[in-house]
């Protein structure tokens, strides 16, 4: 992997991680386009750019990292448990699902779900605007919805946002809870991958890693802010249409 490829992958990771369009799916497709094999070294690179995305959330929500917000974090940890348990038990089976074909299909299915959600979305029924107002029951339901994100192409952000909307959060609150819920998920997967691929970091090109890290952080930081601005005026319909069109395109190509 060269510097140009690391920058492109950093942009893809930073832009797609918190949008309901699947960062994993886009990384698989992009890597396939560049002919980058899924080696241990590549996995080490993905760990680095995912860590950059984690930092982007921390910098955007510094006010949430205080003892006064402990109640909120209890709910976030509760929402993390389902995917943590299922992901740990079925890790090997999940790895076998990583293919462009599966990504294409899940892109389309996810897009259809978003269009259905938006068709029946009623503002008066979705009254929770502050994520700190959600209940433990609602948080756990969102966590259950997040399990679907284990299927490549489904999108962690997409599954949690859909789950949040279904339990009564408005679009912005759904996105914000999804951002914060990404922290325990990504910290767990990143820590696991660092331990698993520790030796690969000693043999890799650190200049390439640094370019990918910085790019992913900057793009993720800006994406979070712009995404929330977007949701103040628009719906998730555009993301649904995008997912369907990209999925169909991939099916045609492959």
Residue 38, SS3 per DSSP: coil
CA distances from 11 to 4, 152, 156 (A): 11, 19, 18
Q: What is the pLDDT of residues 137-171, one digit of tens each?
A: 999 999 999 999 888 888 889 999 999 999 999 99
Tell me the pTM.
0.87
| Crossing angle between the packed helical segments 171-196 and 156-166, to the nearest 10 degrees | 140
Q: What is the pLDDT of residues 242-251, one digit of tens each?
A: 999 999 998 9
Averaged pLDDT of the chain: 87
Q: What is the pLDDT of residues 180-232, one digit of tens each?
A: 999 998 888 777 777 766 666 666 677 888 999 999 999 999 999 999 999 98
Q: Which of 186, 163, 187, 191 is nearest to 175 (CA)?
A: 163
CA distances from 239 to 32, 156, 227, 231, 234 (A): 22, 14, 11, 11, 11
* Measured distance between the N- and C-terminal CA atoms of the chain, rounded to whole angstroms: 24
Cα(188)–Cα(185) distance, integer angstroms: 5
Domain ranges of the chain: 3-253
Cα(151)–Cα(69) distance, integer angstroms: 31
């Amino acid at each position: 992997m060269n510097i140009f490829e690391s920058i492109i992958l950093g942009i893809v990771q930073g832009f797609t991680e918190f949008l309901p369009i699947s960062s994993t799916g886009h990384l698989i497709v992009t890597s396939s386009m560049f002919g980058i094999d899924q080696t241990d070294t590549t996995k080490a690179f993905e760990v680095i750019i995912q860590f950059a995305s984690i930092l982007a959330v921390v910098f955007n929500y510094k006010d949430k990292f205080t003892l006064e917000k402990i109640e909120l974090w209890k709910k976030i940890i509760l929402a993390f448990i389902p995917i943590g348990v299922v992901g740990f038990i079925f890790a090997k089976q999940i790895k076998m699902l990583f293919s462009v074909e599966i990504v294409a299909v899940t892109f389309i299915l996810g897009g259809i779900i978003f269009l259905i959600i938006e068709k029946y979305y009623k503002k008066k029924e979705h009254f929770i605007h502050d994520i700190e107002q959600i209940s433990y029951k609602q948080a756990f339901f969102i966590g259950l919805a997040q399990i679907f994100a284990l299927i490549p192409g489904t999108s962690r952000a997409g599954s949690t946002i859909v789950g949040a909307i279904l339990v009564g959060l408005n679009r912005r609150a759904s996105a914000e809870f999804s951002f914060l819920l990404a922290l325990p998920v990504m910290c767990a997967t990143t820590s696991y991958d660092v331990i698993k691929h520790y030796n690969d970091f000693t043999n890799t090109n650190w200049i390439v890693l640094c370019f990918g890290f910085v790019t992913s952080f900057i793009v993720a930081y800006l994406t979070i802010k712009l995404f929330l601005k977007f949701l103040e005026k628009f719906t998730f319909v555009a993301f649904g249409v995008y997912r369907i069109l990209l999925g169909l395109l991939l099916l045609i190509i492959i």
